[in-house]
Amino acid sequence: MKVIIGVDIGGTNTAIGVVDETGTCVRKNAVPSNTQPDAEKYGQELSQAIKKLVEQQTDAELMGIGIGAPNGNFHRGTIEHAPNLKFNGIVPLVEIVKRYFDAPVFLTNDANAAALGEKIYGGARDINDFIMITLGTGVGSGIFVNGQMLYGHDGFAGELGHTIAIPGGRQCNCGRKGCLETYCSANGLKRTVFEMLASNNADSSLRDYSYHQLTSKAIAEEAMKGDKIAQKAFAYTGKILGKQLTDFVAFSSPEAIFLFGGLVNAGDILLEPVKNHFHENLMTIFKGKVRILESEIKEGDAPIIGASALVWNEI
């Protein structure tokens, strides 16, 4: 059986999966991301865990290893200045992992991996021009144009979470102000709730949460139960995202925009305002031509599956 190893490097754990040709993750494992500041040793541990997993899968023919990582650079096979990982600076992870395998090794950032997963296994199989927006702790993106992943000159194309939504707005981790991510990520939603709790007098069950306690899931649940602040926070998030997506259309004229990640689980509370403000603000020449779609990749194994798609896309 031909298999790909998909690797998803998160802030705490690194998930490793054996993915078959249909895009199903048939076997999984994990190593800690966070205990190893030494990139060489981390690469060794990761490679050993991969070897073990492949050995457990009888009759597996390893076609390649695909790695999704924050600030992953496809061109150079490096992780560069990733703020949430222990090893700092520029880590040549592809070079390190390649020492342990004969199969090809590729690396890209996690949102690009999600876009590749959608293209190879998901709703974008027949779509050549699309944008994937990942709405998680941050906002990431992966862009396909002319049927190709857009990496750009230096391999970092698709940082749409860091386009400016509100000039001079909220402070972003990237050092700038008003980035889309500060409004439309899970954290952005929390920030909106706290702003609204401060500026509004309305009663809300969200007043019982500390900032650290509050999650986007809790906000979604309260919104479903009818909490007005929670509902308004989603409406505001959707409005900002919907408007910003029109700028992305003016850039690459995609056929569809896929939304993926934790926030999308809130369903129509988020998607309705996104779609309304998107279609209302779209330039005339694009009206009626661009669909907003939910990702078809199931969330649990998505990062692993996306990372594995990177290999299918390249070999």
| CB nearer its own copies, residue 11 or residue 21 | 11
| CB nearer its own copies, residue 43 or residue 254 | 254
CA distance 73 to 79: 6
Site membership for its own copies, residue 146 (CB under 8 A)? yes
Site membership for its own copies, residue 194 (CB under 8 A)? no
Listed residue (53, 67, 186, 54) closest to 116, CA to CA: 67
Cα 107 to Cα 7, 116, 135, distances in angstroms: 9, 12, 21
SS3 91: strand
Listed residue (247, 310, 312) closest to 115, CA to CA: 310
Site membership for its own copies, residue 166 (CB under 8 A)? yes
CB 163 within 8 A of CB 180: yes
CA distance 299 to 29: 17
| CB nearer its own copies, residue 71 or residue 308 | 71
Token duo for residue 171 = 């402070």
Site membership for its own copies, residue 164 (CB under 8 A)? yes
Task: Give the range of 59-67, 97-105, 286-294, 303-311 binding its own copies by CB under 8 A.
Answer: 286-294
215 to 254, contacts with its own copies by CB under 8 A? 243, 246-248, 250-254
Site membership for its own copies, residue 154 (CB under 8 A)? yes
Cα 94 to Cα 55, 103, 117, 224, distances in angstroms: 21, 11, 20, 44
Instruction: Tell me, residue by residue from 28 to 67, as one string, x for binding to its own copies by CB under 8 A and - for no binding.
Output: ----------------------------------------
Applying CB under 8 A, the residues found at the interface with its own copies are 71, 80-81, 128-129, 143, 145-146, 148, 150-160, 162-167, 174-176, 243, 246-248, 250-255, 281, 283-286, 289-290
